[in-house]
Amino acid sequence: MNGPDNFAVPDSEDQDIAAAPHDPIPYVDGNATAGALSEVFRIDIIAALGRCRHCGSVRAFGEAMAFTDAPGIVVRCRDCHGVLLRLVETPSQYWLDLSGLSYLEIDREE
Amino acid sequence: MGIISSGFRGRRSENPALPPGQHETQDFPVLTAGPAPLIPIDEWEFFITTENGLRLSWSWNEFLALPQEEITKDIHCVTSWSKLGTVWRGVSLDALFENVETTSDFATAHSFGGYTTNVPLWDLLGGKAWVAWEFDGEPLERAHGGPARLLVPHLYFWKSAKWIHGLELTGEDVPGFWESNGYHLHGNPWREERYS
C-alpha cells in the first residue's frame, strides 16, 4: 500500500484530474487488481504496457493506481490520475470500461 | 471476485430502518473512485446551470450566509453498509434553487476531481437534498468530501457526490460515473435499485 504522503504530484493543468497532495484516499498498485482482472482477461494485463488516453504516458499496467474501496475497481494513470479502467461486478454481469487506455501492448507467450 | 466493503460488519438485522440487503455499521467507511482533490476555500464555488444558459454561483462565504439546516438521516451505501442517524449541517437545495427557473427534469452533479452522478430534480427538491459541509459537529473531512458534498440520503450514497462543485440541469437523464458502468440510473435503496 502506498501512503498518501509519498503521492507523486504531477504537474497537471487539467482541473478534472487535479493533483491531490497529501491525499487522504488510500490506493494500491495496479498489481493488486490481478486477481479480479484475471476473471475477465485471458492475458496477463498486469505485465502489459498501456498508453494513457489522457496524457499519453506509457507504463506497465501494474504501476497504475488502483482504487478498490469503491463500488467497483477504478485504475488511474500514475502520471495524470486520469481513469484507465473501471470494472464493476454485478450479480449477473461484469461491466468493463477500457476507454482510458488507447492501447495495451501484450507480450505473447513463448 | 468479491468487492470487499471495508464497512461490512454484522449480520442482516431485522431493524426496520435498514433497506433490504443492508447491514448497519458504526464506522464511516471511505469509498472513493480516485484521489481527493485539494480545493482552496477561496477558490471553492457551488454552481447551478440551466438549459437556457443561466449560471448561478456562490462563493464559500456566500454559501455560508444562506440559511443553514441541521440534518439527521440514515445513509445507505450500495456496497451494503448503512449508517443510521448521521448528523450533518448544510444548505437545502430548495434554498439554492430559490431563483432558478427551469423546465429540466434532471441534474448532473459535477465534483471537483471529475466525478459525476445523475439525479432527477424531484429527488433534489422538497426537503430531500442538501449541500453539506459539517458532519457530527465538525467540518467535513476531505476524505469524506470536504469542503462540501452533496447529501441525498434517500438514495444510495454514491449519489451524494463528494467535493461537490455544482449541478448542471439537463432535459435527459445522463448517466454519471457509476451509472454508465453497471450501476442503476436512480438508486433507491428501498427498491434495491443497485444495478442497471
Which region among A1-5, A20-24, B34-38, B139-143 has the lowest average model confidence (pLDDT)? A1-5
Residue in chain B lying closest to A74 (CA): B33
Please name the residues in contact with A31: beta carbons below 8 A apart, sequence gap of 6 or more.
A46, A62
Please check the confidence at residue B157 and state whether its pLDDT lies above 70: yes
Q: Which residues of A touch B112 (CB under 8 A)?
A: 15, 18
Beta bridge partners of A52: A101
CA angle, A91 then B196 then B106, to 5°: 155
Please check the confidence at residue B77 and state whether its pLDDT lies above 90: yes
Say what the pTM is: 0.89
Which value, to the nearest 10 degrees, does the dihedral of the CA atoms of residues B160, B166, B172, B176 take? -50
- Closest-CA distance, B95 to chain A, in angstroms, reads 27
Q: What is the mean pLDDT of chain A?
A: 85
> What is the Cα–Cα distance from B118 to A57, expressed in whole angstroms?
31
Report, as an integer, the average pLDDT of B2-30.
Answer: 77
How would residue A3 be classed by pLDDT, with cut points 50, 70 and 90?
Answer: very low
A57-86 confidence digits (pLDDT tens) = 999 999 999 999 999 999 999 999 999 999
Q: Which residues of B touch A100 (CB under 8 A)?
A: none
Q: For residue B104, which phi and psi values (nearest 5 degrees)?
A: -70, 145
State whether ipTM is beyond 0.90: no
- Closest-CA distance, B58 to chain A, in angstroms, reads 19
> What is the Cα–Cα distance from A103 to A90, expressed in whole angstroms?
26
Q: Which residues of B touch A1 (CB under 8 A)?
A: none
Residue in chain A lying closest to B195 (CA): A90
Q: Which residues of B touch A97 (CB under 8 A)?
A: 180-181
- What pLDDT is attached to residue A21? 72
B41-68 confidence digits (pLDDT tens) = 999 999 999 999 999 999 999 999 999 9
Cell of B36: 481527493
> Widest CA span of chain A, in angstroms?
44
Cell of B173: 437523464
Q: Which of B114, B135, B116, B133 is nearest to B58 (CA)?
A: B133
- What pLDDT is attached to residue A110? 73
Cell of B38: 485539494
- Closest-CA distance, B83 to chain A, in angstroms, reads 16
How would residue A11 be classed by pLDDT, with cut points 50, 70 and 90?
Answer: very low
- Closest-CA distance, B99 to chain A, in angstroms, reads 28
- What pLDDT is attached to residue A23? 84
User: Which of B:12-31 have CB within 8 Å of A?
Assistant: 29-31
In this complex, is the C-beta atom of B80 within 8 Å of any C-beta atom belonging to chain A? Answer: no
Instruction: Report how far apart, in Å, the C-alpha atoms of B89 and of each of B71, B72, B155 are.
Output: 6, 9, 18
Report, in this order, helix, strand and coil percent for chain A, each rounded to 5.
Answer: 15, 30, 55
Residue ranges with strand state E in chain A: 28-29, 49-52, 58-60, 65-67, 73-76, 83-89, 94-97, 101-105
Pick B158's closest partner by Cβ from A7, A27, A71: A71
> What is the Cα–Cα distance from A24 to B38, expressed in whole angstroms?
10
Cell of B167: 449541478
Residue ranges with strand state E in A14-90: 28-29, 49-52, 58-60, 65-67, 73-76, 83-89
